[in-house]
Amino acid sequence: MLTETSPASRRWWALALIAIAQFMVIMDTSIIGVALPKIRADLGFSQENLSWVFNAYVIAFGGLLLLGGRLSDLLGARRIFAAGWIVLLAGSVVAGAAGEIWLELTGRALQGAGAALVAPSALTLLMMLFGGRPGELGKALSLYGAAAPAGGTAGVFLGGVISEYISWPWVFYINIPFALVALVASPALMPKGTARRGATDLLGAVTVTAGLAVAVFAVVRAPEAGWGSVQTAGGLAIAVVLLGAFLAIQARRRHSLVRLGIFRTPNLGAANLAQLLLGGAWIPMWYFLNLYLQQVLGLGAFASGSALVPMTTVIMLIMVAIAPRLAARWGAKAMIVSGLAVLALGLVWLSLVRPTGTYWVDVLPASLVAATGMALAFVPSLGTAMSSARPEEGGLASGIVNTSYQVGSALGLAAMTALATSLGANELGDAAALTTGQSAAFLGAAGIAAVGALVAGVTLRGRRAQGADTTNAASTHA
């Protein structure tokens, strides 16, 4: 029984549960990709609005991560970890049972809110368990880090299997048994922790989440409403006001959601900017590659999911086995810059896809190059952001870096969806038009990655010794 195991054994069982949490949070972003065409057909999404099945999760996840980190620090990580699983479970039930668009998006937003509580509290629990044991910490972080790319790989494959042979609601229902196991096991395995004094800053959480949602909505609707329309300009203006209000709230409150002074920490802001641009390039590629495989090449859900397994497997292998060694030798800055540059190259290659293309020629080689770049940049940029913060602000640093990536993902996907739609990506049944729009999205994402490489090269401080330390911390979020 768990209660009869040694403390050392309990630590590793607890790590397994924490790794499952990271696995599921990442899987919930990737598992829906292959199922999107069937969700569109059953619920009546338009092609240009289909990305909201992804965005509803990402906006809630990214917008509430800072609150999740703050609550973890204030109320205790174990309590917030359990609360996150409860919310994630409820969202999965709603999303799976949804018969209408608004209910589907509500369920996805609830899933994202649950993930925003689970992710930062999981990292805090890991550091509580292993932070005082340097001999075990590296191994624990590596095992935890491997859970994220494993979740990405499993999500793509399971999404194909479930969509092809069961039904798409089960891409959401699959969370239920994992949530129940976590809720039953965490009281016996996880350290209780202590609560601290402080305010939660709900107003800050509301303004940043609303600002992000309005910005994404305005960009997604821009091709239909017009980029110069009152609707688009007004939406973007409202988003700027809301995000500006969030910053003003943080600057004036004693117990703010984000201590703005943390961004004066060397390399923290630069590393988070790299994460934002990395998400803005990678997620549009993943989204439109799923659509190209199914809508242009005509692959079924299972075949499409299987087609992306090599790419995600390469990411997992590089993140776990290769990137830490390269970063230790060359330093974080060199890894981030070169990784973003390689990602840009892979995306340019993907933009050459043809209406009459094949997986082996048009997709596989280019996707492996892009995956290599993603894996090289992701680990050291996360590690740099995490290791730059003070130990007592671990939950905040975790929330910030996850938020940067999720915000970049949402805005990048919204912008590339608008670009692709304006060039024909909504013309279902017309392979040439679809390919033109999807190719434009790949090329636009390449531009984001290239900008990321340039910005990282200018803003990051190059410290060779930083590499070994930062990759350990990075593994916790990969």
Q: What mean pLDDT, rounded, does the chain reach?
A: 85
Which class is domain 2-191+257-474? mainly alpha
397 versus 451: the higher-pLDDT residue is 451
What's the pLDDT band for 196 if we cut at 50, 70, 90? low
User: Environment class of residue 224 by beta-carbon count within 10 Å: exposed (0-12), middle (13-18) or buried (19+)?
Assistant: middle
Region 394-419: what's the mean pLDDT? 81
User: Environment class of residue 396 by beta-carbon count within 10 Å: exposed (0-12), middle (13-18) or buried (19+)?
Assistant: buried
Best CA proximity match to 454, nearest among 288, 313, 333, 306: 333
Cβ atoms 126, 156 nearer than 8 A: no
Region 65-76: what's the mean pLDDT? 82
pLDDT digits (tens, 9 = 90+) for 110-151: 999 999 999 888 878 887 888 777 777 767 766 776 677 677
What's the pLDDT band for 361 if we cut at 50, 70, 90? very high
Per-residue model confidence (pLDDT) at position 351 = 97
Q: How far apart (Å, rounded) are the C-alpha atoms in residues 357 and 352?
A: 10
Region 247-272: what's the mean pLDDT? 83
Q: How many CB atoms lie within 10 A of CB 264?
A: 9
Examine the pLDDT at 301 and tell me if it is beyond 80: no
The H or E element that residue 13 is part of is helix 7-30
Per-residue model confidence (pLDDT) at position 471 = 43
Per-residue model confidence (pLDDT) at position 341 = 98
CA 435 to chain centroid, in Å, comes to 26
Of the CA atoms within 13 Å of residue 52, those in its CB half-sphere come to: 26
Examine the pLDDT at 464 and tell me if it is beyond 70: no
Angle between helices 101-130 and 77-97 (to 10 degrees): 160
pTM: 0.81
* List of residues 6+ apart from 52 with CB closer than 8 A: 45, 105, 220
Region 75-79: what's the mean pLDDT? 88
